[in-house]
Chains A and B, each alone.
Chain A
Amino acid sequence: MIDHPRLEEKLIHRALSERGIRAGILNVTSVPLPLDGLRIAEVALIRTVGMFRGVRAAAVLESMGVRTINSSSTILRCGDKVLTYSILHGAGLPIPRSLLALGREAVLRAHAQFSGPAVDKPPLGSWGRMVSLVRSSEMASQIAEARELMPSSVRGHIIQEYVETGGRDIRCLVLGDRLLGCMERSAARGWKSNVALGGKVRALEVTDEMEELSLRAARAVEGEFVAIDILSNGELLVNEVNGIPEFKGFMRATGIDVAGELASHVREVLRS
């Protein structure tokens, strides 16, 4: 299931074909899906760029009995960071100290609870968009004002402690009940380490702590193929879980054939 195929989707398709798996590509922006249809496939990899497209396409397929990777509920739980943090915290996993603020007054009161700068991010979004480091209450209220003009999906605020990471974070890719590997992303400039913003990547040796944390986080959201982003200031904190992970930077950094691993995993699922 795709909308705007990237390198990842092409690699996955190739890896499936190489393993003799008959894989069709369905672009959900051009093909309607029947809401009362019969099963159209055994397994579907949900690979849309649009998170809600992924959630909805997965839900429709699940109703037909298709095994989706990831499921609609996992994609939604990962796509909305408020849901993600709530689930992670509920499962006893460490997250950055965070407050949910759903209006301008709440935003200002949330910031007042932090002595230093704090990070403001919308509930949805990726590639570091709209994630700001807030250093004053003037800036906090400007952001709140600007956000009120945005679509409702990004109107809330997660106000959280700024974790002194040195502009780095750790990305761990989990497939099934296995950690494929980890890499470090470091910011090209500033403090956000997103690859989409030019962040540099390198492979990291997996520690027991990283492995335990990422497998527990994946399990908490019931993720089958997810990327866990971890912030570290000495202590490891789960920053987010990505439900439709991009992995070209990860393949480059670690040399791990993620598309091949995913295709082999699909083969196992089909056999079972």
Chain B
Amino acid sequence: MEAECPICGSPVELPDDVMAGELLECPSCGATLEVYEQDGTFLLREAEEIGEDWGE
């Protein structure tokens, strides 16, 4: 499965077990992207900014 990078237009490979909300890095431009689902297909959008409170 592939989706298009919204920043540079390159195809990005999605993992088999892809989930909405997952963060991926575009191998072409390095942008951090977020997977979302629309009408049963997985698409990519620019990820929200990393929060100060992110972590474990």
Contact = CB atoms under 8 A, between A and B. Distances in A.
B55 A30 contact: no
Given A29-B21, A50-B51, A245 B34 contact: no
B20 A126 contact: no
A4 B34 contact: yes
B56 interface: yes
B52 interface: yes
A245 B21 contact: no
Interface string B31-56: 00010100000000001000111111
A246 B22 CA distance: 15
A49 B52 contact: no
Contacts of B3: none
A27 interface: yes
The A interface, classified by DSSP as helix, strand, loop or mixed, is loop
A3 B21 contact: yes
Interface residues of B, number: 15
A49 B51 CA distance: 9
Contacts of A122: 52
The B interface, classified by DSSP as helix, strand, loop or mixed, is loop
A5 B51 contact: no
Contact of B19 (A10, A79, A124, A129): A10
Contact of A126 (B23, B36, B47, B54): B54
Contacts of B53: 50-52, 79, 124-125, 153
Interface in A1-31: 2-6, 9-10, 25, 27, 29-30
Interface in B1-30: 17, 19-23
Contact of B21 (A4, A125, A151, A153): A4
A62 to B, nearest CB: 19
Contacts of A127: 54-56
B34 to A, nearest CB: 7
Given A4-B21, A150-B52, 19 more contacts: A4-B22, A4-B23, A6-B22, A27-B21, A29-B21, A30-B36, A49-B54, A51-B53, A52-B53, A124-B52, A125-B53, A125-B55, A126-B54, A127-B54, A129-B55, A154-B52, A242-B55, A242-B56, A245-B56
Interface of B: 17, 19-23, 34, 36, 47, 51-56
Q: Which 10 A-B pairs have the closest CB atoms?
A: A126-B55, A51-B53, A246-B56, A242-B56, A5-B19, A27-B21, A154-B52, A49-B54, A4-B23, A52-B53
Interface of A: 2-6, 9-10, 25, 27, 29-30, 49-52, 79, 122, 124-127, 129, 150-151, 153-154, 227, 242-246
21 contacts: A3-B21, A4-B21, A4-B23, A4-B47, A5-B21, A6-B22, A9-B19, A10-B17, A25-B19, A27-B21, A30-B20, A30-B21, A50-B53, A51-B54, A51-B55, A52-B53, A122-B52, A125-B53, A126-B56, A243-B56, A246-B56
